[in-house]
Amino acid sequence: MGTLLVAVLSFFGFILAYNTYGRFLARKVFQLDPKAVVPSVEVNDGVDYVPTRKAVVFGHHFTSIAGTGPIVGPAIAVFWGWAPALIWVMIGSVFVGAVHDFGALVVSLRSRGQTIGDAAGRMIGPRARILFLLILFFALMVVIAIFGLIIAVIFAHYPESVLSVWAAMPIAVAVGFWIYKRGGNLLIPSLLALGGLYLAVYAGVYWWPIDLGSLAGLPVLAGADGGFFEGLRSVVVLWTLLLLAYCFIASILPVWMLLQPRDYINSHQLFVALALLVMGLAIAHPPMVAPAFVGSVPGAPPIMPFLFITIACGAVSGFHCLVSSGTTSKQIRCETDAQYVGYGSMLLEGALAVLVILACCAGLGMGLPVEGETLTGVAAWQHTYGGNWGDMKLAQKVGAFVQGGGNMIAGTGIPLKMAVGIIAVMVACFAATTLDTATRLQRYVLQELGGALRIPPLTNKYVATTVAVVTGGTMALIPGPGGPGSGGLILWPLFGAINQLLAGLAFLVIAFFLIRHQRPVWFLLLPLAMMVVLPAWAMIHQTRDFYAQGNYLLVVLGVLVELLQAWMIIEGIVLWRKARGVLPAPLPPLKPTATNEGGRAC
């Protein structure tokens, strides 16, 4: 099948789904009300709860849920061939992922911006709240570790991406002050910010690539034979620590100052990159060099259930329920914006995943530099994907998309070096937005846990943020074959399984919300069953492998998450019939302040 035809049919399918199934959910199931007072208006504290324009919230939400998930997952899954990956992305994003994100957002909007874990207490029961919050804590700890390492690896292997990623921060702060303190319009600062960002990309590619290894004389990874402390002297570890320090600051700042404008700018960057990818695809029209199906992959886990775990973001991701209920629900200023932001963002992520599949299965065949020569066609794909599953490290997984996407953009006439830089910066920027959003979400979860378990220090945002950064950093620096920073890479399969288990539990909370309000739940039953059974199946398989490899920390973490999930599902089964038609307990009255008396924002 022609690559351009695959892209066009996929994009048309997403647009059709938004205007049919998405509209059905918005109007008939969730019954969005433009007159409803949303949390951003009701609370409006100027820090976390801030009524925000639809376009800005979309930019924040999309870049936060996208990250590198829809890049790394499909880039691994095409080991099994491009057809299974493409089918799961299309079906999953429309009928599972977008429903999950949209539903979690609506539940939080109707619960004064509570996270999905906190809302579980009202929808299911008090014990379910604590169980879900504990699962969220472990999941976010892994997310912070994984995405911190991913960005560090990108910085180490693509030093041309460093300047523009860090330059985006002061640019975003300037845009935030312009919009929220001076009341300026969005168009002019958005264009200036986008221009400044791409100027930084050009400067990083051609003038000032920042290579810490060359500057400080550090290896990319170190310490396999020199012990733990020797292993801390590496580029990946140094970047990880710097990124976590940044996350501490970014996650306690008001959302309008950095998070919103930075994500808005990054969303524009993505739109430009997606447009360039599609243009390159249309002009170069590279053929598929990967097989549609691969019968047997050496060293790979079975395609069933691991296809549905490997491709999480891009099809369905439990992390998205945290973004929907953790930050996005506190910024939506009109309830009817939820379809555009919640359902629409997931479909756009599906479109990104489709382009990743095409870049890895067609764009990679346009040219792959290897030891002084350039491989093309099937030889390029075989060099990357023809070996053992376990031999392909994180850098190669990301690099397959960076090189393939760069080749496609180069088809428009942009120099290949600049094209590769554009893709590398896009990946790093998205991972950065996910990283600091995850840190802010972990702060919310820890504060809610502090209240539920009566641990007063955890309710302080500075203490909670410190715990979030320290636990995530500790997990990231688990010693491995290459010393600290390399062991954490084994967390990716665990992240995939826990991530999908979260989606199943979020579906359970959404289902309870609907039955309590006497709404239909038939459309949730199959996605709910899939996201409970498949991840549990994969987790059991992985836990057995972790035990055989001697990774006892991951064994304990996997077993603990499985037990917490099973307990919560049992709680749900026991309470299912009793909950039908019984409205959740009302929220406590909100103390009026100078900022939350403004009324409706739509």
CA distance 284 to 286: 6
Question: Does the residue 575 lie in any domain?
Answer: yes
Highest mean pLDDT of the ranges 12-21, 407-416, 457-466, 590-599: 12-21
Confidence band (pLDDT; 50, 70, 90) for 198?
A: confident
Alpha helices in 207-292 (DSSP H): 212-216, 227-231, 235-252, 259-284
What's the domain count of the chain?
1
| CA torsion angle 408 410 412 413 (round to 10) | -170
Residue 369's SS3 state is strand
Query: 441-462: string of b/e by CB count within 10 Å (b at 16+)?
Result: bbbbbbbbbbebeeeeebeebe
Residue 377 amino acid letter: G
Q: For residue 446, which of 125, 123, 134, 108 has the smallest C-alpha distance?
A: 134
Residue 368's SS3 state is strand
Mean pLDDT value across residues 53-82: 87
453-456 long-range contacts, CB within 8 A, separation 24+: 453/130
Q: What pLDDT sits at residue 469? A: 93
Q: Cβ(197)–Cβ(464) under 8 Å?
A: no
Q: What pLDDT sits at residue 358? A: 95
Question: Does the residue 169 lie in any domain?
Answer: yes
pLDDT at 334 over 70: yes
Question: Does the residue 602 lie in any domain?
Answer: no
Question: Does the residue 79 lie in any domain?
Answer: yes
CA distance 62 to 433: 10
pLDDT at 329 over 80: yes
Confidence band (pLDDT; 50, 70, 90) for 554?
A: confident
| pLDDT: which is higher, 214 or 335 | 335
Question: Does the residue 455 lie in any domain?
Answer: yes
pLDDT at 57 over 70: yes
Q: List the structure tokens of 277.
A: 């990818």
566-570 long-range contacts, CB within 8 A, separation 24+: 567/127, 567/131, 568/120, 568/124, 568/128, 568/131, 568/132, 568/135, 568/505, 568/508, 569/505, 569/508, 569/532
CA distance 510 to 143: 23
Question: Is residue 481 classed exposed, middle or buried when 0-12, 13-18 and 19+ CB atoms within 10 A define those classes?
Answer: exposed
pLDDT at 168 over 70: yes
Instruction: Provide φ and ψ at 462, rounded to 5°.
Output: -75, -40
pLDDT at 68 over 80: no
Q: What pLDDT sits at residue 210? A: 85
Q: Mean pLDDT across the chain, nearest whole number?
A: 86
Q: What pLDDT sits at residue 480? A: 66
Q: What pLDDT sits at residue 407? A: 94
In tens, the pLDDT along 120-140 reads: 888 988 888 888 888 888 888
pLDDT at 34 over 80: yes
Q: What pLDDT sits at residue 229? A: 53
Question: Does the residue 587 lie in any domain?
Answer: no
Q: Cβ(466)–Cβ(185) under 8 Å?
A: no
pLDDT at 228 over 80: no
Confidence band (pLDDT; 50, 70, 90) for 293?
A: very high
Q: What pLDDT sits at residue 481? A: 65
4-13 long-range contacts, CB within 8 A, separation 24+: 4/281, 4/282, 4/285, 6/86, 6/354, 6/358, 7/278, 7/281, 7/354, 7/355, 7/358, 10/86, 10/90, 10/350, 10/351, 10/354, 11/351, 11/354, 13/90, 13/94
Q: Cβ(511)–Cβ(30) under 8 Å?
A: no
Residue with token string 């003038």: 207
Mean pLDDT value across residues 8-19: 96
Mean pLDDT value across residues 305-316: 90
Q: For residue 558, which of 541, 571, 573 has the smallest C-alpha distance?
A: 541
The DSSP bridge partners found for residue 369 are 374
In tens, the pLDDT along 459-516 reads: 999 999 999 999 988 888 877 666 666 665 566 667 778 888 889 999 999 999 999 9
Instruction: Provide φ and ψ at 10, rounded to 5°.
Output: -65, -50
Calculate helix-pair angle for 187-206, 416-452, nearest 10 degrees.
120
Out of 64-68, 83-87, 439-443, 472-476, pick the least confident: 64-68
Mean pLDDT value across residues 76-87: 94
The DSSP bridge partners found for residue 368 are 375
CA distance 65 to 344: 12
Question: Does the residue 592 lie in any domain?
Answer: no
Confidence band (pLDDT; 50, 70, 90) for 217?
A: low
Q: What pLDDT sits at residue 427? A: 84
Q: What pLDDT sits at residue 333? A: 94
Structural domain boundaries, residue 402: 3-579
Q: What pLDDT sits at residue 408? A: 94
In tens, the pLDDT along 257-277 reads: 877 787 777 788 888 888 899
In tens, the pLDDT along 340-374 reads: 999 999 999 999 999 999 999 999 999 988 877 88
Q: What pLDDT sits at residue 258? A: 79
